[in-house]
Amino acid sequence: MSSVYDCSVVELPRINSPSGNLTPVCSRLQIPFDIARVYYLYDIPGGETRGGHAHRDLQQLIVAASGSFDVLLDDGINKRVVHLNRPYFGLYMPNMIWRELINFSSGGICLVIASRPYDEADYYRDYAEFVTTVRGGQ
Ligand code: TYD
């Protein structure tokens, strides 16, 4: 099972120029998976919360492409909070981590790079079911 300590903040490359900066993310270079999907959350009201689920198999890199938010991580035993506020830092998340994205700044954009296509069957949306599963071996 994954641990919240398997989640890591990755510093992404930065190509800076007076006309603006650029950050590339490549499969198997900055992230340990092949990119299957990219999506982004935007027009999020300030202070709003997203997430509230875990994934059976999906791995993700989560980036505050603009603004900031906090990610609450929970592996069913331990919890951690990671603050994201720069487009050149990404939070790598393995599968089987419950997450909530909270405290969105107004105008914040959350960019997600994912290892699999969207599949509702990959989600745990019930926290009690998630905890029962991860603690099942105990
Ligand atoms: P969800 O993953 O619950 O969003 P969040 O974690 O940001 O709160 O997805 C919200 C809705 O969007 C849900 O109905 C599923 C749909 N969705 C897609 O159709 N494709 C996707 O790639 C994603 C991530 C979500």
| CB 40 less than 6 A from any atom of ligand 1 | no
- Ligand 1: residue of 118, 126, 130 to mutate (most ligand atoms within 8 A of CB) is 118
Say whether 49 sits in a helix, a strand or coil. coil
Q: Does residue 59 form part of some domain?
A: yes
Laid out side by side, the sheet with 69-74 consists of 79-84, 69-74, 98-102, 50-55, 123-124
Q: Is the CB of 51 under 6 A from ligand 1?
A: yes
Would 23 be classed as within a structural domain? no
Domain containing 97 equals: 4-9+28-129
Residue 32 sits in a domain whose CATH number is 2.60.120.10
Give the Cα separation of 44 and 95 in Å (integer).
25
- The answer, yes or no, to whether residue 79 has pLDDT greater than 80, is yes
pLDDT band (50, 70, 90) for residue 137: low
CB atoms within 10 A of CB 50: 15
Could you tell me if residue 134 is inside a domain? no
Band the pLDDT of 119: cuts 50, 70, 90.
very high
Residue 34 lies in a domain: yes
Q: Report whether pLDDT(138) > 70.
A: no
Residue 109 lies in a domain: yes
Query: What is the count of structural domains for the chain?
Result: 1
DSSP annotation of 15? B
**Do residues 7 and 82 make contact, with C-beta atoms less than 8 angstroms apart?**
yes
Give tens-digit pLDDT for 8-22: 999 999 999 999 999
What's at 107, amino acid-wise? G
Residue 19: inside a domain: no
- The catalytic residue positions are 53
Asked whether residue 22 is assigned to any structural domain, the reply reads: no
pLDDT tops 60 at residue 121: yes
Model pLDDT, residue 85: 98
What's the confidence (pLDDT) of residue 80? 98
Q: What value does the mean pLDDT take over residues 61-68?
A: 98
- For residue 110, the SS3 value is strand
Q: What is the pLDDT of residue 1?
A: 87
Q: Which whole number is the average pLDDT over 69-86?
A: 98
Residue 118 beta carbon below 6 angstroms from any ligand 1 atom = yes
Does 114 fall in a domain?
Answer: yes
Whole-number average pLDDT of the chain = 97
